[in-house]
Structure 1
Amino acid sequence: MDTGTAGTGKLLVVIPAFNEEAAIAEVIASVVRAVPHADVLVVDDGSRDATSEVARRAGARVATLPFNLGVGGAMRTGFLHAARGGYAAVVQVDGDGQHDPSYIPHLVAALADHDVAVGTRFSPQCTYTVNGPRRWAMAGVAGVISALLGTRIDDATSGFRAAGPRAIPVFAQHYPAEYLGDTLETLVIAHKSHLTVTQVPVAMRQRTTGRPSHGGVRSGVEFVRALCVVALGLVRRWPVAADVAP
């Protein structure tokens, strides 16, 4: 991992990236414009392209994983770096440019009263749209998570989120790498660890590459799998977050 001034900014923006050489430089630049005081860590998740080299040239600190672990594995690397570096907050920003870094200050502000802040795409200021069976499945999962947490979370699968000082050590040791672990199971972990969660309306950009949409059958299968992830997270034992002095 590249060395740098870890912890001096107290805010760490972690960008998990897999084969994002075309987008990563602009993502880093937009993060720096939004929060120039933050440290930026790109976790190259086993890319087969020049993601690491482009990220370094753009000024980010880079952790290069030897093979692809998925977003969860990449984010655990980021949280470990944050815990060891004494950061007060971690914000996740995807490497494909879909997240709008100008909302990072809003997510961080929410950490004044909560341990985890989730950026929701389904808000009046967001033009991001999901329709049909996939939207129904997402709404169903959000309903289950909201009931579990006792607070409304409209976009439980959003990866645009922030974690505060009580959450960082928990996620550094227990951030799951399995399917949907980086989104749904982390919220279950937060609940079981007595961390408080809130949502923040954000704008997100439409995906420019790939095909995120699913048909009715696939969406139904994904919904069932998501419920299984939540159920397994509930029966596992998780540590209770320690109080952190301000």
Structure 2
Amino acid sequence: MDGPTTATGDERSAPVASRALVVVPALNEAPSVGAVVQSIRTDLPHADTLVVDDHSSDETAYEARRAGATVAQLPCTLGVGGAMRTGYRYALEHGYDVVVQVDGDGQHDTRHLQELVDGLAHADVVIGARFAGADPYAVGRARRGVMLLLARVLSTLLGVRLTDVTSGYRAVGPRALRVYAENYPAEYLGDTLEALVIARRCGLQVVQVPVRMTAREHGSPSQGLLRSAVYLGRALAAIGLGMVRRWSCEPAGEVL
């Protein structure tokens, strides 16, 4: 398996955390969230698990607790970005150094958790990337084209080759944790694309490691030319917002 893809230049050599928290944003994931929590505890046993229940109408919170996770229940639905901001703030307040995001639907293969955490030895943000050599991942031709275009745009902005900028399977280290606890965007696609723009503007180093993912168990991704075109427009808007908004960056406390 290929190692992390990283930018050229000085590496940050950020220490791998002594305390890690896996955050699972979940909305109506009762059928799968218990198994996800159990697999996290098996594959990254030294980490704690926080399930952020995004105001589910099913038994997501119950199943997560039954599997051994701590649960934060939101009073209204905030989306993945809002749920992750809750997770980042919880991690910062409780003394964690690393946060790893894992979807509650079982799409993310938790056997890669340690690889993501290990990647933080040389970066602030580590993306678990499909299309990077670990395993083929089936996706429609139109959507795949959009994802390739977005990967090229973000690769140019960040100065590092990335292949899967919409992946939500990521780990962040201490510097990125402080930035994201303050700034993490809640809008659609902000939690993936805009978050990378924030990393670039705050001087955080981003790398990727190849991972396997399975097809989502609930819902369906956008397919077809029209939906893919709409998706592309919204994605480029998210990137543009990230470039013009003002962000508070650590450790210097600058507003960029």
Under TM normalisation by the shorter chain, which class is it?
over 0.9
Q: How far apart are residue 231 of structure 1 and its match?
A: 1.0
Equivalent residue of 2:68, what SS?
coil
Distance in 2 separating the partners of 1:151 and 1:9: 27
User: Could you say what the CA RMSD is over the residues aligned between the two structures, in angstroms?
Assistant: 1.3
Which of these residues, 35, 38, 48, is aligned with residue 57 of structure 2?
A: 48
Which of these residues, 165, 168, 177, is aligned with residue 168 of structure 1?
A: 177
Which of these residues, 225, 237, 245, is aligned with residue 228 of structure 1?
A: 237
**What is residue 156 of structure 1 aligned with on the other side?**
165
Q: How far apart are residue 124 of structure 1 and its match?
A: 2.4
**What is residue 119 of structure 2 aligned with on the other side?**
110
Contact 1:145 1:153 survives alignment (8 Å): yes
Runs of 5+ unmatched residues, structure 2: 1-16
Distance in 2 separating the partners of 1:214 and 1:155: 17
Contact 1:195 1:241 survives alignment (8 Å): no
- Verify: 1:208 aligned to 2:235, yes or no: no
- Partner amino acid, structure 2, of 1:121: R
**What is residue 65 of structure 1 aligned with on the other side?**
74
What are the within-5 Å matches in structure 2 for residues 74-153 of structure 1? 74-153=83-162
- Partner amino acid, structure 1, of 2:208: Q
TM-score for the superposition, normalised by structure 2: 0.90
Distance in 1 separating the partners of 2:30 and 2:59: 6
Number of residue pairs the alignment of both structures matches: 236
Tell me whether 117-126 or 68-77 shows the greater mean CA deviation.
117-126
Q: How far apart are residue 127 of structure 1 and its match?
A: 3.0
Distance in 2 separating the partners of 1:239 and 1:99: 30
Distance in 1 separating the partners of 2:34 and 2:245: 39
Contact 2:64 2:71 survives alignment (8 Å): yes
Contact 2:140 2:223 survives alignment (8 Å): no
**What is residue 26 of structure 1 aligned with on the other side?**
35
Contact 2:182 2:248 survives alignment (8 Å): no
Q: How far apart are residue 94 of structure 1 and its match?
A: 0.2
**What is residue 45 of structure 2 aligned with on the other side?**
36
Distance in 2 separating the partners of 1:182 and 1:127: 24
- Partner amino acid, structure 2, of 1:105: Q
Distance in 1 separating the partners of 2:18 and 2:42: 15
Q: How far apart are residue 9 of structure 1 and its match?
A: 6.1
Per-residue CA deviation, residues 113-134 of structure 1 (Å, 9 max, x unaligned), is: 1000011011222232213111
- Partner amino acid, structure 2, of 1:11: A
- Partner amino acid, structure 2, of 1:12: L
Distance in 2 separating the partners of 1:183 and 1:92: 11
Equivalent residue of 2:249, what SS?
coil
TM-score for the superposition, normalised by structure 1: 0.93
**What is residue 5 of structure 1 aligned with on the other side?**
none
Structure of higher RCO (CA pairs closer than 8 Å, 6+ residues apart): 2
Distance in 2 separating the partners of 1:115 and 1:123: 19
Equivalent residue of 1:166, what SS?
helix
- Partner amino acid, structure 2, of 1:77: T
**What is residue 4 of structure 1 aligned with on the other side?**
none
- Partner amino acid, structure 2, of 1:106: E
